[in-house]
Amino acid sequence: MSVGARHNGSAKACRAPSGTSCPAHTRVYRKGKLAAEGFPVEQISDLLDEPDTVVWLDLLQPTREDLGVVTEELGLHPLAVDDAVNEQQRAKLDRYDDHLFLSAYTVHIDPTTAELATGEVAAFITPRALVTVRKSEHIELDALLERWDATADKASSGIGYLLHGLLDLLVDRHFEAVQELDEQIEGLEDVLFDERPRSHELQRRSFEMRKSLVMLRRVVLPMREVVNSLMRRDSDLVDPAMAPYFQDVYDHVLRATEWTESLRDLVSTILETNLTLQGNRLNEVMRSLTSWAALLAVTTAVTGFYGQNVPYPGFGKEWGFVFSLVLLLGITGGLYLFLQKRGWL
Amino acid sequence: MSVGARHNGSAKACRAPSGTSCPAHTRVYRKGKLAAEGFPVEQISDLLDEPDTVVWLDLLQPTREDLGVVTEELGLHPLAVDDAVNEQQRAKLDRYDDHLFLSAYTVHIDPTTAELATGEVAAFITPRALVTVRKSEHIELDALLERWDATADKASSGIGYLLHGLLDLLVDRHFEAVQELDEQIEGLEDVLFDERPRSHELQRRSFEMRKSLVMLRRVVLPMREVVNSLMRRDSDLVDPAMAPYFQDVYDHVLRATEWTESLRDLVSTILETNLTLQGNRLNEVMRSLTSWAALLAVTTAVTGFYGQNVPYPGFGKEWGFVFSLVLLLGITGGLYLFLQKRGWL
Amino acid sequence: MSVGARHNGSAKACRAPSGTSCPAHTRVYRKGKLAAEGFPVEQISDLLDEPDTVVWLDLLQPTREDLGVVTEELGLHPLAVDDAVNEQQRAKLDRYDDHLFLSAYTVHIDPTTAELATGEVAAFITPRALVTVRKSEHIELDALLERWDATADKASSGIGYLLHGLLDLLVDRHFEAVQELDEQIEGLEDVLFDERPRSHELQRRSFEMRKSLVMLRRVVLPMREVVNSLMRRDSDLVDPAMAPYFQDVYDHVLRATEWTESLRDLVSTILETNLTLQGNRLNEVMRSLTSWAALLAVTTAVTGFYGQNVPYPGFGKEWGFVFSLVLLLGITGGLYLFLQKRGWL
Amino acid sequence: MSVGARHNGSAKACRAPSGTSCPAHTRVYRKGKLAAEGFPVEQISDLLDEPDTVVWLDLLQPTREDLGVVTEELGLHPLAVDDAVNEQQRAKLDRYDDHLFLSAYTVHIDPTTAELATGEVAAFITPRALVTVRKSEHIELDALLERWDATADKASSGIGYLLHGLLDLLVDRHFEAVQELDEQIEGLEDVLFDERPRSHELQRRSFEMRKSLVMLRRVVLPMREVVNSLMRRDSDLVDPAMAPYFQDVYDHVLRATEWTESLRDLVSTILETNLTLQGNRLNEVMRSLTSWAALLAVTTAVTGFYGQNVPYPGFGKEWGFVFSLVLLLGITGGLYLFLQKRGWL
Amino acid sequence: MSVGARHNGSAKACRAPSGTSCPAHTRVYRKGKLAAEGFPVEQISDLLDEPDTVVWLDLLQPTREDLGVVTEELGLHPLAVDDAVNEQQRAKLDRYDDHLFLSAYTVHIDPTTAELATGEVAAFITPRALVTVRKSEHIELDALLERWDATADKASSGIGYLLHGLLDLLVDRHFEAVQELDEQIEGLEDVLFDERPRSHELQRRSFEMRKSLVMLRRVVLPMREVVNSLMRRDSDLVDPAMAPYFQDVYDHVLRATEWTESLRDLVSTILETNLTLQGNRLNEVMRSLTSWAALLAVTTAVTGFYGQNVPYPGFGKEWGFVFSLVLLLGITGGLYLFLQKRGWL
């Protein structure tokens, strides 16, 4: 197996059924070069015995038993293993004696419904091994591999290089989600001042967006601490050459956070504007209703008057009809024109 | 009495009426092993004289006198005893010369009403004894004992082990409450966009939830400080082996806090959306009302006109009727179609 | 004059007209025992010359001249004297070279109107004297004396003991106010979902409560800093034995603050819920109005039609009447049933 | 020229046309005593050469050239001179090598419109000279002089004494503005629950107040930093004797800030209460409208029925009239009573 | 090429097609004097070899290749180059080993629509070179050059002088945008209380303004950190003589930020006031509608009554007509006057 044997299509199946029951992927870097990939999981132990190697193992939805393969070899803490197996962890970076444990989320906004889907990923980070645990298939392995291969010149930074690729991918996903929401919000604005308001759609959409923004915030905000803590305290993992790259990821996290906040503001603004626009429309409708009621009152008064069975002037006479007609048309017409002019009808 | 004598059903009654008048439970760990449980309260003093023992005593709604048994033995501060006897304390961790005093809450969300019920628990923590004071029966002893027995391998960490079990249980309860509220809020969302809005139910529910969230926040938020302060400053209680477990509890507290905040955001979003939806419905109702008023005006005008007792063209003539009918049907029909097309009726 | 000469009823009048023109109270503690009380103000100077004495002087609404008695003796700063005489100070703790100056408020919620009344108190604190200046009679002296007498065993802590009694009383008052507001808010909730809404009452009440909460916050919040600063920096005043008691006061301040914030949240929630409930009611009323308008349109159309003076089919005929009756009852009845079924009438 | 030559009425004109083209005022203190005032601006240079003098110069709306008189003598930084000449500076305290530059605002609330007027003042502060630059005549010189003369006993503190007088005046003005707004808000509350709501007035007023509060906040908030920074870092300017006085100003700033925040809360509360009161009124009006519509429907039905040209029972008969009258009065009367009882009319 | 060859009109085209394909501008300062400008880009390398020179290069929308000219010479980090080429960076100051990387925005408010347009600028800062990268033509080069030339006396401060000119320009642009928005908001206020409300315009405008304020905030807020960090940490770039000037820029940033916040408050205030004004208008319209409905009911009742085909008193009689007329005019007239007096019509 050599570097040439690249990933194609989705992902290679696990070669080591004896090792893990779940799909697994492996890579080893030797002296900053990709030396092999797709080898059986049980070889990891041997590879780590060699000097100058950095090993990557990916497991998709592993059970606790699947993780057993590396738990002992890497000295993983039972609590971290628990967190890697259970879902719904906080995005965080936990420090154990022998390793770090990272928990984070990839996100995706459905362009049609604005709903947010999240995929959880966990990672054990030791000075010479990165074990990624994908809790759903939302995290595309290919994108990660491409990112690593595209920056292969930094592979000599070892684990920092691998970790950066992973974080960069996740934060880019956050960024794309914010961007997608931003575009959808622009769409909302257009609907907002539409002549024929599509309020129901607007509400449903904006509700879904606000929900997605709340969720997104919960995922994005803790990343600030995760990346910052990596930069400040883990100088052994993040060597000087990688430092600017982690700084870059951190800038992205900050921008995603600030942008999310701005979008929250914008959606609130849209909602509040919609509320006042509704009030406007209501006032306009009420005004025309009042106008109709006034017209109705006039019509009723005139025709009702001439419908009485009492000998009013003109009762049963031609000129009575003419007079009533003149009255009816005159008063309603005058009122109509008056209301039109005031813009009430 | 041996380790084999396990708790069954609810809880064993107090064996030491002379000691306390309230239900009491006891346990002693010797060299990291559960050595005895359910022994009389007055033996505690002797057990603490032995080296390598860690003692646990639980009292349910004790009076100040009941606490007298241990007050002197453990050197408890009168203020702490006050706080343990009185209800409605803040969730907090107070430091006294000889011991710590913990005050915290277990919570429970009623799935049908979304109301929050709280149960208060206090604890005195000395280097070798944990005295838990349950101020209500909401805190189930069995759950605590199960948790301890499930992690019996950590019993050698002494008081840290016992304290972790207690905090872990409380924080899990907080978490479950947040989770329950989260599910209920999802239910609210479904109601929100219902064709036939059940607004009253929605309001009642969301009001209860917001109230529960306010209460929950008051209980959950201070736990952050409690657990954090235990980790930072009490290295004698929390030995290195237990540190990751307290960190884990702390992560849970953080997540419960963040989740609570998100839920507050979501409920606000639901409420505001409901408000604009109401506005929409009002606008729609008003529009159809205006339409009816317009139709009414037309009908009144035509039939009123032909009801006049003046010899209008067609008065008393067949063709007059036909003409009036055509007018009536024509104008109202036309108006009806026009309003239908504009979506007002 | 001896310890036995206790305060009875309200408060003893000033014995030293030459000293102060305002009501004054005095006490002296010698070696942790109450040695005398009610003695003339001018003896204070002599008493302070004795070792092991701690003196308390209370003045009710003194003028600057009244304070002259102690200003020189205790070396009070003119600015502090200003603040003690003028009203509307911030709750604060000012440090001068020779003494501390405390300014704080007692509060009271009127159970019927929910209005907040405040009473201002100032205090000069020197290592061996406490001078309390009550700016209104809201601060009941008896409650303060009872509190001191109830904890007479701590009197050996000197000024710390006196100061603790004063702060404890004030903070308890804050607490009671929060508790009273809490209960009133529970009452509001019941009104909120009443079948027959008493909206005006609800608004008036909730307005008054929000106002009281705003005021209360202004009074309670600065106490945090006051007590905290006493604990951290004044180790000479607060001896180790008193420290837990000040910590206890601080806990109370924190809880009052947090509770106040919760109540603000709750009142907001009530108000917003009320707004949406109003919206609901409006929608319901509008729907029934629209229904009436529709029924009205039908009735008008039918009877108007048959009221025309043109020979429509059935004009002046028995079967015409029957037909019109059938039409009228049929259409209005049908519409009525239809609207009933949709829940609009 | 001597101390006796006091300022009378408004302010003395500039004696030194050669020095400045704008109105100028001067004072010199020698060994803590006011030695002279109103002397020509060009003497300042000589006076500063004497030991133990402190000089004050005030310029009203000077040009850059006017400031030239002192710029060189006092070594004023060009940027500070810019800021002193240009309007709309931030309230701030800038530090230059040789001097401090203060920028602050006096404020005034118009009692009839609640509008906030601001007047800007700048000051150059060197260890022995204070140059105040008034950018508008809002800052009354007399008030400043009175304040200084009233505390002449502190004049030995030199520049600290002068600076304190200036800050104390400004902060008092802030305080008065807050107080004025507080009173106006009390007035608003009365209008709020008026039987006959004067909503338009209420809105205009509360709008103006909120605007003034926003502006006031912008002016008051930065003063905290200004005074705090003076106290913490400029021990050479603020000697120990003046420290409590600056602390006092700081307390005032804090209270003005807190009060401003409270008022913002209160105005919000008033606005929200007004919104729900409006909702109430709308509901009440709608209910009575619905009632009228129902009464209208009944009247129309009965009289319309008896107006039909078909031989209904009683057509053209006396008893028909009696029956119709009974029906009309009975049904409308009954309905009226029913609606009255439910409080809808 | 000499100092005399000044920029005229827009900007000189790039003289060095071999160097860059995009428009480029250059300047070199030698010993604090502008020595040359408009020279080919490839000379930069030579110029930097001379001592006492400071070089400025501006590139308009360069490609990565265009930047290649200086990347190597100045040792620019690939990540910084990425950020300079890609759009939509955060306003930030990144530190690399050999240089700083600045990213910032110029802004402009369209006076007719209140829309915010932004223009991005990036800059590489080394101890002796400033490379500005304009990502759009929004950043007018002429304004920058004018600013530098106007403060040519500070040119001896080298890179700090150039950098200050750039930041000062950007922050001034921010300031102008805030000022423009402030004026537009004043305009909004006038519309708000207009007799004939132009609500739609108001909403559209205020929506656009809030959006611009959200955007502006995102651009202005990070500048605080950028300038602050330059002042605190880059003492080599910002020499003591320039320090006050950077402090001045920082003051401007602070004021722009505070002002932006105030404007947000004001726009919210306007929106909320508009909402209550709408409520007022609705209430007024509803009241007049109710009044019309009441008048209608009376008219209908009277004329309907006299239109019945039953021999009511006065049926077919002169006095019946007179009576009906009196009734009609009397009741409607009376009701009209009554409603007028209550201000409902």
Split at pLDDT 50, 70, 90, the class of B4 is: very low
What's the rounded mean pLDDT across residues A115-127? 94
Measured CA to CA in angstroms, residue E163 lies from E122, E159, E247, E322 at distances of 12, 6, 13, 94
Relative to beta strand E53-60, strand E129-134 is: parallel
b/e burial code for range C280-299 (CB count within 10 A of at least 16 → b): bbbbbbbbbbbbbbbbbbbb
Query: Average of pLDDT values for A167-194?
Result: 91
Which has more confidence, A197 or E169?
E169
The span from the CA of D182 to the CA of D114, in Å, is: 11
Average pLDDT of every residue of chain E = 86
CB of E130 within 8 A of CB of E157?
Answer: no
C229 CB near a chain D CB, below 8 Å? no
Measured distance CA(A315)–CA(A323) in Å, rounded: 11
Residue D142 contacts C where some CB pair is shorter than 8 Å: no
Predicted confidence (pLDDT) at residue A58 exceeds the cutoff of 90: yes
C-alpha triplet D186, D187, D190: angle, nearest 5°? 95
Nearest-by-Cβ selection for C283 from B89, B282, B295: B282
Distance, in Å, from the CA atom of D278 to the CA atom of D255, rounded to the nearest integer, reads: 34
Instruction: Tell me if chain E has a CB within 8 Å of the CB of A207.
Output: no
Report how far residue A19's alpha carbon sits from residue A44's, in angstroms, rounded to the nearest whole number: 11
DSSP per-residue letters across D134-200: ESSTTS-HHHHHHHHHHTGGGGGGTHHHHHHHHHHHHHHHHHHHHHHHHHHHHHHHHHHT-SS--HH
Chain B hits for C297, CB-CB cut-off 8 Å, are 292, 295-296, 299
CA distance D90 to D81: 15
Residue C204, classed as helix, strand or coil, is: helix
Supply the pLDDT for residue D226: 94
- What is the pLDDT at residue A133? 94
Given the structure tokens 């960190």, which residue do they identify? B247
Amino acid at E145: L
Sign of CA dihedral A53, A54, A59, A63: positive
Q: Which chains touch E (3 or more CB pairs under 8 A)?
A: A, D
pLDDT higher than 60, residue B7:
no
Q: What is the CA radius of gyration of chain C?
A: 35
Predicted ipTM? 0.80
CA distance D278 to chain E (A): 7
Structure tokens at B222: 């201070």
Amino acid found at A279: G
Instruction: Summarize pLDDT for A261-318 with one digit per residue, the tens.
Output: 999 999 988 888 888 888 888 888 888 878 877 787 788 888 888 888 888 888 888 8
B123-143 pLDDT, tens per residue? Answer: 999 999 999 999 988 778 899
How confident is the model at residue A89, as a pLDDT? 85
Contact with chain E for residue D344, Cβ under 8 A: no
Helix H or strand E encompassing B201: helix B199-233
E strand or H helix at B184, and its extent?
Answer: helix B159-192
E127-157 pLDDT, tens digit each: 999 999 999 887 788 999 999 999 899 999 9
Residues of E in contact with A253 (CB under 8 A): none
- E186 vs D: CB within 8 A: no
List CB contacts (< 8 A) between D204 and chain E: 193
- Specify the pLDDT at position B123: 96
Helix axes A243-306, B243-306, angle to 10 degrees: 20
E276 vs A: CB within 8 A: no
Q: Could you report the per-residue pLDDT of B99-111, keeping only the tens digit for each?
A: 999 999 999 999 9
Which residues, given as ranges, of chain C have pLDDT below 50?
Answer: 1-18
CB A76 within 8 A of CB A99: yes
**pLDDT grade, residue B87 (50/70/90)?**
confident
E288-324 per-position pLDDT tens digit: 878 887 787 788 888 888 888 888 888 888 888 888 8
Q: With beta carbons less than 8 A apart as the criterion, state whether C177 and C216 touch.
A: yes
CA distance E84 to A248: 13
Residues in chain C within 8 Å Cβ distance of B200: 277, 280
Assess D299–E contact: CB distance below 8 Å, yes or no.
yes
pLDDT in tens, E6-22: 333 334 444 444 456 78
- CA–CA min distance C66, chain D (Å): 22
Which mean pLDDT values do the consecutive 10-residue runs of chain D (345 residues) have? Answer: 36 46 89 91 89 92 87 90 89 91 94 91 94 88 92 90 95 94 89 73 86 93 93 80 92 94 91 85 82 80 86 87 89 88 78
What DSSP state is assigned to residue B98? S
Residue C250's CB is within 10 A of a number of other CB atoms, namely 20
Q: Is A317 on the interface with B (CB under 8 A)?
A: yes
Q: Which residue on chain D is closest to E282 by alpha carbon?
A: D282
Q: Is the four-CA dihedral C209, C214, C218, C221 of positive or negative sign? A: positive
Residue A344's pLDDT band, with cuts at 50, 70 and 90, is confident
Helices within D54-158 (DSSP H only) = 64-74, 78-85, 141-150
Chain D residues with CB inside 8 Å of C279's CB?
279
pLDDT at position E324 is 87
* Low-confidence winner among A208-222, C305-319, E244-258 (lowest mean pLDDT): C305-319
Take residue D53 and report the two structure tokens written for it: 């003098």
Looking at residues B61-68, what average pLDDT do you find? Answer: 89
Q: Are E58 and E129 in contact (CB under 8 A)?
A: no
Reduced to 3 states (helix: H, G, I; strand: E, B; else coil), residue B344 is coil
Buried b (16+ CB within 10 A) or exposed e, A18-35: ebbebbbbbbbbbebebb
- B112 and A CB contact within 8 Å: no
Amino acid at the residue B10:
S
Phi, psi of B237 (to 5 degrees): -80, -45
Q: Is C306 on the interface with D (CB under 8 A)?
A: yes
Residue C218 contacts D, CB cutoff 8 Å: yes
Q: What is the dihedral of CA D86, D89, D95, D101, to 10 degrees?
A: 60
**Are residues B307 and C311, on separate chains, in Cβ contact within 8 Å?**
no
**C33-37 β-sheet, strand order:** C33-37, C24-30, C53-60, C129-134, C116-126, C100-109, C92-95
Dihedral sign computed on CA atoms, order B153, B155, B157, B160: positive
Whose CA is closest to A69, among A48, A97, A43, A49? Answer: A43
Closest-CA residue in chain E for A283? Answer: E282
Query: Phi and psi at residue E92, in whole multiples of 5°?
Result: -160, 170
Mean pLDDT of B258-265: 93
Yes or no: say if E163 and E237 are a contact pair by the CB < 8 Å rule: yes
Task: Enumerate the residues of chain A whose CB falls inside 8 A of the CB of residue E299.
Answer: 297, 300-301, 304
Other chains touching C, judged by 3 or more CB pairs under 8 Å: B, D
Q: Which residues are paired to C123 by β-bridges?
A: C102, C132
Q: What confidence score (pLDDT) does residue C196 get?
A: 66
With an 8 Å Cβ cutoff, is E316 touching chain D? no
Q: Nearest-CA residue of chain A relative to E321?
A: A310
Nearest to A285 among B251, B283, B310 (CB): B283
Strands D129-134 and D53-60, by their bridges, are parallel
> Once rounded to an integer, what is the mean pLDDT over residues E54-77?
90
What is the C-alpha to C-alpha distance for residues E294 and E301, in angstroms, rounded to an integer? 11
Tokens matching residue B298: 């037309």
DSSP E strands, chain E: 24-30, 33-37, 53-60, 92-95, 100-109, 116-126, 129-134
Residues from chain A that touch B178, judged by Cβ atoms under 8 A, are none
pLDDT of residue B226: 94
Residues 39-98 of A with CB under 8 A from B: 77, 79, 83, 89-90, 92, 94, 96
Distance in angstroms between the alpha carbons of the first and the last residue of chain C: 82
Checking if the pLDDT of B49 tops 80, the result is yes
Chain E residue with CA closest to A313: the answer is E321
Model pLDDT, residue B205: 86
pLDDT confidence of residue D12: 40
Q: Which of B309, B331, B342, B344 to mutate to test the interface with A (most CBs of A within 10 A)?
A: B309
D312 in contact with chain C, both atoms CB, cutoff 8 A: yes
DSSP B117: E
* Three-state secondary structure call for residue D16: coil
Helix (H) or strand (E) holding B52: none
Residues in chain C: 345
> Does A9 touch chain E if contact means CB atoms closer than 8 Å?
no
Token representation of residue D57:
């110069």
Q: Contact at 8 Å (CB) between A287 and B292?
A: no
What is the three-class DSSP state of C189?
helix
Q: Which residue is closest to E210 within chain A, CA to CA?
A: A269
Q: Which of chain D's residues have a Cβ under 8 Å away from the Cβ of C281? A: 283
